[in-house]
Amino acid sequence: MRVGRRGGRRLTVHVVATAGHVDHGKSSLVAALTGIDPDRWAEEKARGLTIDLGFAHGSIAGHDVSWVDVPGHVRFIRNMLAGVGALDAAVLVVAATEGWKPQSEEHLRILDLLGVAAGVVALTKADLVDSDRVAEVAGDVASRLEGTGLAGAAMVPVDSLSGRGLPDLDEALGTLLEGTPTAADRGRPRLWVDRSFSASGAGTVVTGTLAGGRLSVGDSLVVVRKTGGPLAVRVRGLQVHGSPRSEVAPGHRVAANLSGVAHTGIGRGDALVRDGQWAPTRTADASLSVLAALDHPVSRRGAWEVFAGTGALAASVRILGPDALQPGETGLVRLHLPAPVPWLPGDRYILREHGRGETVGGGEILDVDPQLPAAQARPDRRVARVVAERGWVDAGLLERLTGETVAPTVGRWVVDPEALAKAGADLRDRVEGAGPYGVDLAALDERLRAVAGRTQGVEVRGGSVVPAAGDSGPGRADSSVPPGTERWLDALDAAPWAPPPPGDYQVARPALRQLLQSGVVVERDGVWWSAAAMASAAAEVAGLLERSPQGVTVAEVRDALGTSRKHVLPLLAHLDATGVTRRRGDVRIAGPRLPAVGPGPTSG
């Protein structure tokens, strides 16, 4: 849970956006709740019409809230979409005087397509109508929310001028936010830029909602731009709600002072990321849910625009499978973009047709680097599918493609079982064809060298791969296991969190070195574990941090694994050293290689 401090109280931090039809009182409501007028432009104030995104902040029932106020007029739907890409919750504003209107419907559908499932409905201008009219509008809104992520949302009649209902709205929002998850720290910061300007004496400043990881003053980052190539920049300063910070956690609205780029060289829709952590793509496979209210099918023909993060890009769309998707249908598409974007599977997007000026649908990014031709592709978010389509994937690349940390299967690669079996068969064929003296290990390519020590039927001897002298043992077919070590490895599997030392089983040092090099076992501070046990421990810690993102103690990890302090301390030291966790004082927090999901511990 993201936390901050104000007056000695701990406050959770949430980003909340308004949504709703033009002139239904969104900006007035934000101003009444925070004391800050979110309209920034003189034209907005003169016309009483929100044109661009507005921002405010304040405390709601013990929660520190960053408000994003969006325009409600249909002409400014692009600006609205730029403001709702990184939300924890939304306030859907419907005027009791007018009831449901076209942009009420479009904004609701956009929130639903983006997966926003936490919201409150504010029935504004309630002082201008009688109670029967308020009840009538409330009933109509409730029926329209059915089947969406906001179904059953609390409805609060309010009037921003008199203050009627504002305490009730404050309470409803506090209750909502209490159970609303906040952004996790995955060690992979990404800030979609929504504003860029030059500040006197500071230079270029950009703002946005930070997600995925922390930023610190002095960080070196890369700007992935919609136009032009990537730019290297450095963070000169950070602010949250006007207060300087040396470091900012994910989930905050951030102003970042950058060196290395003019404010005209970076703009809305560009993204700040760490170099080497992402695989920006021009082609992505995704799901697409077509709005049921659409009056025509969706095919590859159209002037398509993809909205994701804070930006919009022209796109071509290829339906995977049928020629078209009918209104109300969900299918798969391939998106071709004119510029690379730093997407991950799970990111949400909105698809609009520029010529008709309509929202068509939206969905979820599934694959940021499709390998199969469109006619064969059937993407999903499974890491196993990504590996199977590639056969061999560098573990670092796999993390950049999927956001998931997976322990290498062989050497530095995660290998599909069929690809691994084929490599083993190829190696055996070469060794058998070479006769009793085998094949020089140095003559093999990197992948075959990696499997040489773990392929049944062959063994490495004196710098050569030769036919195996005998079977690798009754308990294990994997001949990366040196003879005489099977009983110890079985004991490691039987007691993963209280592993016996190799000396108890007379395991020789050369065998230990081979087991370490092949990745079968892991050692830290004289304690040995099976690689499977260490991967399971990382997953268990990930589960603990999913529930307590502020950090977990040694005792909490010890109790979760059912082990002793003697064993948990070196185990955590290994997780720290490999980037799964980071130590911060007396707790461990998420590191850059923390697995996304944590199953329970291995039973012993």
Average confidence (pLDDT) over 342-360: 91
Task: Using alpha carbons, select from 484, 482, 444 the residue that is nearest to residue 464.
Answer: 444
User: What is residue 51's predicted lDDT score, i.e. its pLDDT?
Assistant: 55
Question: pLDDT at residue 604 above 60?
Answer: no
Average confidence (pLDDT) over 36-65: 68
> Which residues, 6+ apart, have CB-to-CB distance to 57 below 8 Å?
34, 36, 64, 65, 66, 67, 241, 253
Task: Using alpha carbons, select from 596, 603, 478 the residue that is nearest to residue 539.
Answer: 596
Where does the pLDDT of residue 418 fall: very low under 50, low under 70, confident under 90, or very high at 90 and above? very high
Average confidence (pLDDT) over 508-528: 84
Higher pLDDT, 298 or 83: 298
Whether residue 211 contacts residue 250, with contact meaning beta carbons closer than 8 Å, is answered with yes
User: What is residue 480's predicted lDDT score, i.e. its pLDDT?
Assistant: 56
**CATH code at 190-273:** 2.40.30.10
Q: What is the pLDDT of residues 236-275, one digit of tens each?
A: 999 998 899 999 999 898 999 999 999 999 999 999 999 9
Which CATH number fits the domain 484-604, given the four candidates 1.10.10.10, 3.40.50.1580, 3.40.640.10, 1.20.272.10? Answer: 1.10.10.10
Which tokens go with 257? 């002072």
Pairing verdict, β 247-248 and 330-341: unpaired
User: What is residue 492's predicted lDDT score, i.e. its pLDDT?
Assistant: 87
Higher pLDDT, 8 or 513: 513
For 327-481, strand residue ranges (E) read: 330-341, 348-353, 358-367, 392-394, 413-415, 439-440, 458-461, 464-467
Other beta carbons within 10 angstroms of residue 411's beta carbon come to 17
Where does the pLDDT of residue 4 fall: very low under 50, low under 70, confident under 90, or very high at 90 and above? very low
User: What is residue 438's predicted lDDT score, i.e. its pLDDT?
Assistant: 81
**Where does the chain hold its CATH 2.40.30.10 domain(s)?**
190-273, 281-381
Question: pLDDT at residue 597 above 80?
Answer: no
Kindly write down the DSSP assignment for every residue of 64-96, as one continuous string.
EEEEEE---SGGGHHHHHHHSSS-SEEEEEEET
Where does the pLDDT of residue 57 fall: very low under 50, low under 70, confident under 90, or very high at 90 and above? confident
CATH topology for 3-178?
A: Rossmann fold (3.40.50)
Question: pLDDT at residue 600 above 60?
Answer: no
Where does the pLDDT of residue 509 fall: very low under 50, low under 70, confident under 90, or very high at 90 and above? confident
> Which residues, 6+ apart, have CB-to-CB distance to 20 below 8 Å?
26, 72, 92, 93, 94, 103, 104, 107
User: What is residue 3's predicted lDDT score, i.e. its pLDDT?
Assistant: 36
**Where does the chain hold its CATH 3.40.50.300 domain(s)?**
3-178
Higher pLDDT, 45 or 164: 164
User: What is residue 455's predicted lDDT score, i.e. its pLDDT?
Assistant: 86
Average confidence (pLDDT) over 571-589: 91
Mean pLDDT taken over the chain: 86
Q: What is the pLDDT of residues 461-491, one digit of tens each?
A: 767 888 886 533 333 444 456 777 888 888 8
Where does the pLDDT of residue 38 fall: very low under 50, low under 70, confident under 90, or very high at 90 and above? low
Q: Is this structure's pTM higher than 0.85?
A: no
One-letter-per-residue 3-state SS of 181-206? CCCCECCCCEEEEEEEEEECCCEEEE
Question: pLDDT at residue 49 above 80?
Answer: no
Report CA torsion sign: 114, 120, 124, 129. positive
What CATH architecture is 281-381? Beta Barrel (2.40)
What angle, 0 to 180 degrees and rounded to 10, lies between the N-to-C axes of helices 26-34 and 166-178?
80
Q: Which helix (H) or strand (E) holds 399?
A: helix 395-402
Where does the pLDDT of residue 76 fall: very low under 50, low under 70, confident under 90, or very high at 90 and above? low
Average confidence (pLDDT) over 414-440: 88
Q: What is the pLDDT of residues 438-460, one digit of tens each?
A: 888 888 888 898 888 888 888 88
User: What is residue 538's predicted lDDT score, i.e. its pLDDT?
Assistant: 87
For 476-568, strand residue ranges (E) read: 521-524, 527-530, 552-553
User: What is residue 530's predicted lDDT score, i.e. its pLDDT?
Assistant: 86
